[in-house]
A and B are shown apart, each in its own frame.
Chain A
Amino acid sequence: MTFFEVTGPLAATRARGYEYRQQLERLLAAVPADEVVVVSFQAVKAMTGSFTDEFLGKLLVARAAGLTGGAPIIVTGLTEETAEEVDLCLERRKTVVVWSDGATIRLLGGDEMLKQTFTAGAVREKFRAGDLVADLRTSQQNINNRLRRLLEAGAVLRVRQDPEGGGREFLYRVPTLPTACPG
């Protein structure tokens, strides 16, 4: 796990968001793709939409486009208010991030379908696409599309695990906070 902290109590300007984005992009480029990067907002009481967009919005769009390292990102230490700010920003940017604090894990950003898919996956911890087809009573194609978006954003991870009878299949899981995470 790699830890990245946003200092508080306020995060107001695009300039500061840009600085943080540069730092985090450098960090993402340096860590292995399977190592969770935890971004802590523990010290932050409020952040503006401008800061949030310049930092997380642009970073996660770039990540989904494959322009940064592939390590999964988990945000932590958000309040309900700062989580709402992140959710709104990422919804506008059509991207997502995993918010985890202890026992709770939620998807911020994206639409309702994506949130439902993520939640269904988080409940199962490890799952195949077919599991969610049954859970959410929707088509395989819908689930594949949503999992692709979650995968691009680092909100789910997958490993190839082909069935014995042949074919190609992936086992998915939701990234989780390591135990004793400082966030």
Chain B
Amino acid sequence: MSAHVRPGIIAGVRIRLAGSQPLHSPALGQMLAGHPGVVFDAGDMSFASPLDLAGITAWAARLRHEGTRVWFVLPDHSDVCRYLVRMDLIEHLDQAGATVRGPAPAVRRADRTDVLLELRRICGPADAERFAVDVYQLAQRHTSDNSAAAGAKMVGELLDNAITHAASPVGVYAAAQVHQRGGDLELAVADAGIGIRSHLARNPSFRNLSAAEALGAALRPGVTGTSERRGNGLPDLLGTASGFGGQLLLRSDDGYAQVLAASSDRKFAPAGQVPGTWAWVHVRLPLQQRRMVSLPQ
């Protein structure tokens, strides 16, 4: 693969997706509305997580929806590249109208239903229910029914929030995987909608919050942008995750939150702008039987 030649790319704003799990970094993000072209350059990406997959796709799809031309440059690192192909990132970017540059490696499509839930576009409640069931079945291969159900419940809350409140014009993207030694479950859900701040601002009590403040508010019980008595989805998710040593990362607009569910360790900060709301959950499920697995990355 030619490492530094980027043929066929018209000049555009370049978003450099470098290093390990680039979208986990609050520094990454930028207001891109109005630019004629955007290049997501993953040439130097060394590791990708489900959040990177879901976030990149939601971002690219939103830009395409607004008429911006989008290119995605594949990683030079062949293992990372194979992982992105295997997780169907390239296929979804293509469907969203982005142009992928770089030779995509041929990946033998072995059955990895024991560890991977490939990137999926969620367009409504039926898709969300199906994805939650798939997470349940994925986790069930490694842990007890109850723990698998907890994993499915968490992704269910995230997906329900996204399809109910985000008003994403391009749908919602989700992916999940169990990590190499089994037991570590990662879930990611990314929409390209209005963001948590705009949602909460519908309620007069929560106008004038910064994006980071809005994330803090959304993690408190009973805080909602609706006129109804609800707003317990994220706090309940944290409650479930706390039993499994869970961590939650949330990005919405230019806000960033990193939370250790079982403690009061919560970090809220301003961050680079991303469209919509992105969530990543990592939990350690108690293994029923330890299984060694290997992933393409």
Contact = CB atoms under 8 A, between A and B. Distances in A.
Interface of A: 9-16, 45-51, 53, 79, 81, 88, 92-93
B145 A13 contact: no
B8 to A, nearest CB: 41
A45 B236 contact: no
A97 B150 CA distance: 23
Contacts of B160: 12-14, 48, 50-51
A89 to B, nearest CB: 8
Contacts of A79: 146
Given A45-B149, A51-B156, A10 B136 contact: yes
A12 B230 CA distance: 16
**Chain B at the A interface: SS class:** helix
Contact of B150 (A46, A50, A51, A88): A46
Nearest to B155: A12
B9 interface: no
B230 A46 contact: no
Contact of B128 (A12, A45, A49): A12
A49 B233 contact: yes
A9 B136 contact: yes
B203 interface: no
A48 B286 CA distance: 21
A13 B152 contact: no
Given A12-B152, A15-B124, A53 B146 contact: no
A103 B125 CA distance: 36
A48 B157 contact: yes
Interface in B99-156: 124-125, 128-129, 132-133, 136, 145-146, 148-150, 152-153, 155-156
